[in-house]
Amino acid sequence: MQYEQTKAYLLKNKKRWVVTGAAGFIGSNLVEALLKLKQSVIGLDNFSTGHRYNLEHIKASVTKEQWSNFNFIEGDIVNYETCKDITNNVDIILHQAALGSVPRSIDNPILTNHNNVTGFLNMLTAAKENSVKRFVFASSSSVYGDSKELPKVEDRTGNLLSPYAVTKYVNELYMGVFEKCYGMEAIGLRYFNVFGKRQDPNGAYAAVMPKWIGQILKGEDVFINGDGETSRDFTYIDNVVQANILAGTTTNEKAFGQAFNTAIGGRETLNNLYNAIVEGIKENLPDLEIKKPIYRDFRAGDIRHSNANIDKMQKLLGYEPTHTLESGLKESIAWYIQDTKRRNSNEQ
């Protein structure tokens, strides 16, 4: 398996990485994985959506020697000088910092554009100026817009449905231009509904998976948008970490300037997801009383179905998902239950 070979190589060859959004959900998991591979990592975050406790989780999960290879900087990608400073003498950039959420972008398109386009261009330009050849970034399945084709294939997209989708599509356009004009080895990863440990269950723009798990554990009402037959390609965080590391280290020139679906390659409805979460929680907490979900209107800007064709990433990067929805959900529920217990004990 390509990923196992890549990890074995990295354990013997230390590279210098930058991870933006390092205190966020995906960013913190990337930092942890890289430190465990004995890599040198610079992390950047402004804590607009990331959390300091995620950095503490990383510290607790790695050795003291591994932690010493991590240099965290509190800063913002909208500041070009900050971008220039952190990309100096670096081998690989994993750019995760962004303002996520389709609803948030509809509420505040200017702020979303400022972070996701201006901030992205700052990082891309800083990488060019500092001669960083490899630039991997978080794109999104939202670029498929209203395309009804299933599964989604990278070179066929539809009309965009939200400002957030526009910003991610613009990122991909810049990637192609920088690859052609400056020879940058840029790769975009179109994330499909990523879930897993450290994903924030709180706030108005929380993703559905952690939000539902958190609400059920607290005995709160759970809301399902629409009829619950909306489907998504839910993708466990370990698969996304694999995709980033493979993209960051690949020697396949055909991958440069390309966007890749980053997913499992399946889909599940919200109704089935809710039932699976309930079953998973009951296995751990059989006495917990769980309410029936409440259905409400469809959410503006949402696509109806999402399912990725992952052939391109498998062929060009050697990607092979290690976690299904079921196995990822099992690990996620166990983590959230333990995290809830930890938080409750800290508050006492």
Mean per-residue pLDDT for 38-56?
Answer: 96
pLDDT value of residue 36: 98
Mean per-residue pLDDT for 62-90?
Answer: 98
* Residue 167 lies inside a defined structural domain of this protein: yes
Which region among 130-144, 216-230, 241-255, 309-323 has the lowest average model confidence (pLDDT)? 216-230
DSSP β-bridge partners for residue 235: 194
pLDDT value of residue 347: 59
* Residue 257 lies inside a defined structural domain of this protein: yes
Mean per-residue pLDDT for 312-323?
Answer: 98
* Residue 87 lies inside a defined structural domain of this protein: yes
* Residue 232 lies inside a defined structural domain of this protein: no
pLDDT value of residue 14: 97
Domain that holds residue 176: 2-192+237-265+301-322
pLDDT value of residue 346: 65
What is the band of 206 on the pLDDT scale with cuts at 50, 70, 90? Answer: low
Mean per-residue pLDDT for 84-93?
Answer: 98
> Would the pLDDT of 174 be above 80?
yes
Contact 306, 314 (CB under 8 A): no
Q: How confident is the model over 109-167, as pLDDT tens digits? A: 999 999 999 999 999 999 999 999 999 999 999 999 989 899 999 999 999 999 999 99
Omega prior to 151 cis, within 30 of 0: yes
Mean per-residue pLDDT for 161-189?
Answer: 96
Please list, in sequence order, all residues whose beta carbon lies within 8 angstroms of the beta carbon of residue 151, skipping any fewer than 6 positions away: 233, 265, 307, 308, 309
Q: How confident is the model over 242-290, as pLDDT tens digits? A: 999 999 999 999 999 999 999 999 999 999 999 999 999 999 999 888 8
CATH of the domain at 91: 3.40.50.720
pLDDT value of residue 339: 85
Could you say which DSSP state residue 251 is in? -
Which region among 94-108, 192-206, 239-253 has the lowest average model confidence (pLDDT)? 192-206
In the numeric block, the tokens 């389709």 are attached to: 102
Round the average pLDDT of the chain to a whole number and report it: 94
pLDDT value of residue 203: 65
* Residue 50 lies inside a defined structural domain of this protein: yes
Q: Which residue has the higher pLDDT, 49 or 174?
A: 174
* Residue 336 lies inside a defined structural domain of this protein: no
Q: Total structural domains in the chain? A: 1
> Would the pLDDT of 91 be above 60?
yes
* Residue 38 lies inside a defined structural domain of this protein: yes
- Rounded to two decimals, what is the model's pTM? 0.94
DSSP β-bridge partners for residue 43: 19, 72
* Residue 310 lies inside a defined structural domain of this protein: yes
Active-site positions read 164
Closest CA to 308 of 208, 192, 172, 194: 192
Q: What are the respective helix, strand and coil percentages of the chain, to the nearest 5?
A: 50, 15, 35
Mean per-residue pLDDT for 53-60?
Answer: 96
Helix (H) or strand (E) holding 140: strand 134-140
Percentage of the chain beyond pLDDT 90 is 84
pLDDT value of residue 332: 94
Structure tokens at 310: 């992952």
pLDDT value of residue 272: 95
> Would the pLDDT of 343 be above 80?
no
Q: Which residue has the higher pLDDT, 171 or 103?
A: 171
> Would the pLDDT of 348 be above 60?
no
